[in-house]
Structure 1
Amino acid sequence: MALDSAALEEHLRLAIVPGIGPSRVAALLARFGSVARVLGASTRELGGVPGIGPEFARRVATAATPAGRARAREALRALADMGAVALTPHDRLYPDAFRRLPDPPFVLYAAGRLEQLGLPAVGVVGTRAPTEYGCGAAHRLAFDLARAGYAIVSGMARGIDAVAHAAALQAGGPTVGVLGHGIDRVYPPENRALFSRVIRHGLLITELAPGEEPLAGNFPRRNRLIAALSAGVLVVEMGERSGARHTVEFALELGRDVFAVPGPIGSAASAGTNQLLKEGARLVTSARDILEELHGVGNAPEPAEPIPSAPPAAVAPPPDLPPDEARVFAALAPEARHVDEVAIAAGLGTPGTLSALLALELRDLAESLPGKQFRLR
């Protein structure tokens, strides 16, 4: 049963204590039995809880003060301003997969289509600096999986993450972005247009309170949520030392399937994925490989025809445009899109897309914006 507004505010007062995390929340609840009793405990009582200590106890104690109440209400206003919500394990929509984690999110913040939390999903992860080969593979696989009814779960980062989310949206399918910062922050900034599209047509979630910045330590922990939501995790281009390895390790701990796209031998971008294949990951060259592993040979769903998440811009290209420029023009929209997203939609590499965009700008047909964003004029 969902919490009433007063109980939710209490939860937020505890959840937004800087540095608290699921483990410390669990320790406090194990000692005191409820959030209300945690907030009513003295600093000395709080400091006696294993893993808390005197200094952190003082932080927790501030949650019970008027200042703590004000911070919670400010967080609620930030959520309301962007149409986001706070879910707890008391809510029906809180994912069962998170309930089974040893350290489930105490509060989950979400913006977008909440029903997508209940859909079958595949996680797609990889390098932040993909090659043209990696972009093409991630787009093709995520697009086909989305058409087959699977939500594409990833981290909204540069590179493979952004390509996978954009492909799912292009297919008219669901996509869930798991953030390593507050729901009201956009990171990286060049993905602002993608964030807007995912909120409209997919879902953003995070266990970090509104206002939390994208600190490096946040991202490895958020990867456990990507793995938990997914029936399997697909890795597309991963170097020898990559954050995507954390997602793979969480997936294995949770008993999820791990899939990998083979890369060219000698390619640094694929050194990690090729190593995963040596270690037993399932080699993938098409979405059907994943679907048959998840459903069994002969039982895999057929991808449906794509339903675009938004109608294409009703602007006809000038008839004298060269072929590449016409493809890039058709991939643009009145809203800003990152160059990587334009390249994927146009079916071109990034260098060719940038060349075509420059030509379109010179003809006053396209406009360049900060952060490698472009739109139709």
Structure 2
Amino acid sequence: MDQREALARLRLCRSNGIGPRAFGKLLFRMGSAIEVLERWHELPAIATSQVRLADPAAMEREWTATEQDDARFLFLGDADYPDALAQIHDPPPVLTIKGRMELLAAPAVAIVGSRHASGNGRTLARTMAHDLACGDITVVSGLARGIDTAAHEGALGQPGATVAVVATGIDQVYPEQNASLAEEIGAQGLLVTERPFGAQPRAQAFPARNRIIAGLSLGVLVVEAAPRSGSLVTARLALEQGREVMAVPGSPLDERHRGTNQLIKDGAVLVEDAADIRAVIDPLVARKARLPRPAMTAPTRTFKARHDAGPTPVQDADVLTARVVSFLGPEPLAVDDLVRQCQATTAQIHETLIELELAGRLERHGGNRVSLLFA
């Protein structure tokens, strides 16, 4: 696309009140971001009243700063945008990337886990990542302390290399102690973010980042994780996206293993080394190689496929969220029952539940049941 359309898309992406789903609906309706902005006054007030359009001059500055940092933008619908990520419920309309872009097309496994990892956990994550990357599997993680750091370190310098999905601007590093690691990844691997240039870390950005980690990967391995940790959110997102979930078992006396042990109880694949991971991933890699690349050159095709899939009882996200909340309470309710009571599709319910979970309002229970968390 030309730079004028790219800047228009960047402006929509950076506008307060326009998330990935709203962005998709706008482009589906108007055909281009330029058309959306030029006809903004024609849109229903109910759709625009809560939106604060970004300053176009700020978009020019972000574009320049990104190029000066040796990074670039990748828009949903671009030929190089990763196919797997494009197929999730809420793909980022724009990514900022720095490093080896070809890694986005490579088969990948995410390795995540506790920030307060044990020494054994770090060693295991580093070894597994090294062995996978030696075998041309790219290792994806989130540049956090603990397991994430060990995974990146193990994969660096190997053929598969590593991708770090960060929750800050491409020019920022969090935690600061990983500054040199981030620099190495930007040179030998790939840094990825959906956040604007210069963006500082904030709590709500980390769970949103996790959906990208899962979306880029064929499977997610959780090495150590306490109950209700961010790593378990990543695992659940992976399940919703149709990815494989794997976990390393551990002592029930260690809080850091309670989450992974529960994942295994719930059906995650128990793994102990890279060979176990390859047994899960290699058939997926072979199947992916046999499939033709989706013929999708514009984001409107992605969203059109969803709209043309057939009528759905509930299409407004805010209305559905309110309906889900009204049916939930402190007592666990089966998700299947929630689908029937809300008269929505399973995909819509799962997407809404993920948003509630990321907002800290949802608790999951065994037997595919959920309840609301009350402050």
State TM-score, norm by structure 1: 0.72
Counterpart among 5, 12, 15 of residue 14 in structure 1:
12
In structure 2, the partner of 1:47 is 45
Distance 1:149 1:72 in 2: 37
In structure 2, the partner of 1:152 is 139
> Counterparts in 2 of 1:1-377, with a 5 A limit?
3-43=1-41, 45=43, 47-49=45-47, 52=48, 54-56=49-51, 59-60=52-53, 63=54, 68-171=55-158, 173-295=160-282
For each residue in 1:276-326, what CA deviation from the matched residue of structure 2 results, as whole angstroms up to 9, or x when unmatched?
Answer: 111111111110011112225xx9xxxxxxxxxxxxxxxxxxxxxxxxxxx
Q: Is the 8 A contact 2:17 2:50 kept in 1?
A: no
Q: Is the 8 A contact 1:78 1:184 kept in 2?
A: no
- Segments of structure 2 that go 5 or more residues without pairing to the other structure are 287-375
SS of the equivalent of 2:168 reads: coil
RMSD after superposition: 1.7
Q: What amino acid sits opposite 1:17 in the alignment?
A: S
Q: What amino acid sits opposite 2:136 in the alignment?
A: G
Distance 1:125 1:137 in 2: 12
Q: Is the 8 A contact 1:15 1:209 kept in 2?
A: no
1:41, distance to aligned residue in structure 2 (A): 2.9
1:172, distance to aligned residue in structure 2 (A): 5.3
> 1:172 and 1:32, CA in 2 relative to 1: closer, same or farther beyond 3 A?
closer
For each residue in 1:236-256, what CA deviation from the matched residue of structure 2 results, as whole angstroms up to 9, or x when unmatched?
Answer: 100012001111111111221
Q: Is the 8 A contact 2:112 2:223 kept in 1?
A: yes
> 1:119 and 1:182, CA in 2 relative to 1: closer, same or farther beyond 3 A?
same
For each residue in 1:71-117, what CA deviation from the matched residue of structure 2 results, as whole angstroms up to 9, or x when unmatched?
Answer: 11111111111100001133221101122122111111100000111
Q: What amino acid sits opposite 1:78 in the alignment?
A: A
1:190, distance to aligned residue in structure 2 (A): 1.0
The alignment covers a number of residue pairs equal to 284
Distance 1:16 1:115 in 2: 26
In structure 1, the partner of 2:309 is none
Q: Is the 8 A contact 2:74 2:97 kept in 1?
A: yes
Q: Is the 8 A contact 2:220 2:245 kept in 1?
A: yes
In structure 2, the partner of 1:302 is none
1:193, distance to aligned residue in structure 2 (A): 0.4
How high is the sequence identity, in percent, across the aligned residues?
43
SS of the equivalent of 1:55 reads: coil
Q: What amino acid sits opposite 1:26 in the alignment?
A: G
1:145, distance to aligned residue in structure 2 (A): 0.7
Q: What amino acid sits opposite 1:22 in the alignment?
A: P
Distance 2:274 2:154 in 1: 13
Q: Is the 8 A contact 2:5 2:32 kept in 1?
A: no
1:153, distance to aligned residue in structure 2 (A): 0.3
1:269, distance to aligned residue in structure 2 (A): 1.0
Bigger Rg, structure 1 or 2 = 1
Q: What amino acid sits opposite 1:14 in the alignment?
A: L
Which shows bigger deviation, 176-185 or 187-196? Answer: 176-185
